[in-house]
Structure 1
Amino acid sequence: MPRLILLNGAPGSGKSTLAGTFVDKHPLSLALDIDTVRGMLGGWLEQPTESGLAARELALVMADVHLRTGRDVIVPQFLGRLDFVLQLEELAAGAGVPFVEIALVSDVDDAVTRFARRTHAPQTQEHRDAAALQERSGGTDELRTMYARLLAVIEARPATRTVVTVDGEIASTYRCLLSAINA
């Protein structure tokens, strides 16, 4: 049975890397990175809120189609509010598939350090986009606020399974992610 998997975590926590590893090992599953979808919208940086909402709407439709064809969808996305979490949960229920919530957590200082390192040497367009967006919204202080919001979402969603991330430990973190998904 297909699953809708939310992989929530702070920027730089490894969400995209882990989602990419998951789809590499699960043929025809979909890593539905909303930041990638947002980046496909013209002028998104001039209207970050509107483009983010539009990308989420598009992602919901894409996920629904993919789930109904019997394939897993993993959504690597920082969510510091419950609205999109609830939309994903509703989508899973409508498609008759399990909704698995995973949160990647670490020490807040570690999360800030990872994001800063990634910002200075971005490897993908999504990393460059995230850096540009973060620069506009407050830098390191905003990252700490985002992390606190992530923890509040985890607390509000008792079914959320947490995976502790360790910088540079992708293989072991991926094994922990698989255990959490299959728990």
Structure 2
Amino acid sequence: MPRLIHLNGPSGVGKSTIAQLYTDRHAGVLNLDTDQIVSLIGGWQDDFWTALRAGRVLAIAMAETHLRTGHDVVMPQLTTRLEEIEGFEAAAARGGAEYREIVLTVEKPRMLDRFARRIAGEHAARHRHMDEIVTRGGGPILLERIHDHLTAYLGTRPDCRIVPTDGLSPEQTYAEVIRLR
């Protein structure tokens, strides 16, 4: 049975890195990065939240279509509200797939450090559009608020699987995701 593997977690935790590792090591898997889809929508930089809503609709359709081929979808996407994922859960069901939410967690100080390193590091171009949105939204203050929202959200998701990433390398985090998928 195919799976829609939703890698949830705060900015800078490693969702995109783990999704790419998964895709590289599993033939036929779609790496469905909604943030990348959003960046394909004209005007996204001026009105990110409208583009995000449209991007999610497109991503839901893409996920369902790909799952119907019998292949997995891995989706690195922060969500902190149930209504943000209901469409993906329904797409998995319609596509004859299992929806699996795996949340990569990190302590706040480490999250802020990882984000700062990401915007200055070698992968800066890959995430630049989202990093600019976060920076315009308040940077560390926004990230801390997102962390709090995610923590509260986890209390409503007893079936999600949690991977604490503090002290783990990307390979170790990937191994935990494989174990929990």
What is aligned with 1:94? 94
Deviations 1:154-181 (A, max 9, x none): 1111000001113560111110110111
What is aligned with 1:153? 153
Residue 130 (1) aligns with residue 136 (2):
no
User: TM-score, normalized by length of structure 1?
Assistant: 0.94
What is aligned with 2:39? 39
User: TM-score, normalized by length of structure 2?
Assistant: 0.95
What is aligned with 1:61? 61
Instruction: Report the residue type matching 1:85 in the other structure.
Output: I
Q: Distance in 2 between matches of 1:76 and 1:167?
A: 20
What is aligned with 2:120? 120
Structure 2 SS opposite 1:28: coil
Moved more, 167-176 or 52-61: 167-176
Instruction: Report the residue type matching 2:71 in the other structure.
Output: R
Percent identity between the two aligned chains: 37
Deviation at residue 116 of structure 1 after TM alignment: 1.3
Q: Distance in 2 between matches of 1:88 and 1:179?
A: 22
Deviations 1:53-96 (A, max 9, x none): 11101101111110001000011011122212221111112222
Instruction: Report the residue type matching 1:94 in the other structure.
Output: R
Instruction: Confirm or deny: 8 A CA contact 1:9 1:105 kept in the other structure.
Output: yes
Instruction: Report the residue type matching 1:71 in the other structure.
Output: H
Residue 6 (1) aligns with residue 9 (2):
no
Instruction: Confirm or deny: 8 A CA contact 1:41 1:51 kept in the other structure.
Output: yes
Instruction: Confirm or deny: 8 A CA contact 2:13 2:105 kept in the other structure.
Output: yes
Q: Distance in 1 between matches of 2:168 and 2:129?
A: 22
Q: Distance in 2 between matches of 1:51 and 1:125?
A: 20
Q: Distance in 1 between matches of 2:130 and 2:113?
A: 15
Deviation at residue 121 of structure 1 after TM alignment: 2.6
Instruction: Confirm or deny: 8 A CA contact 2:65 2:95 kept in the other structure.
Output: no
Instruction: Report the residue type matching 1:26 in the other structure.
Output: H
Greater helix percent: which structure?
Answer: 1
**Cα root mean square deviation, aligned:** 1.3
Deviation at residue 126 of structure 1 after TM alignment: 4.0
Structure 1 residues 155 and 99, CA gap change in structure 2 (3 angstroms): same
Deviant stretches of 4+, over 2 Å? none
Q: Distance in 2 between matches of 1:10 and 1:126?
A: 16
What is aligned with 2:30? 30
Residue 111 (1) aligns with residue 89 (2):
no
- Aligned residue-pair number: 181
What is aligned with 1:172? 172
Deviations 1:83-116 (A, max 9, x none): 1222111111222211101000011111111011
What is aligned with 1:78? 78
What is aligned with 2:15? 15
Instruction: Confirm or deny: 8 A CA contact 1:36 1:126 kept in the other structure.
Output: no
Deviation at residue 125 of structure 1 after TM alignment: 3.6
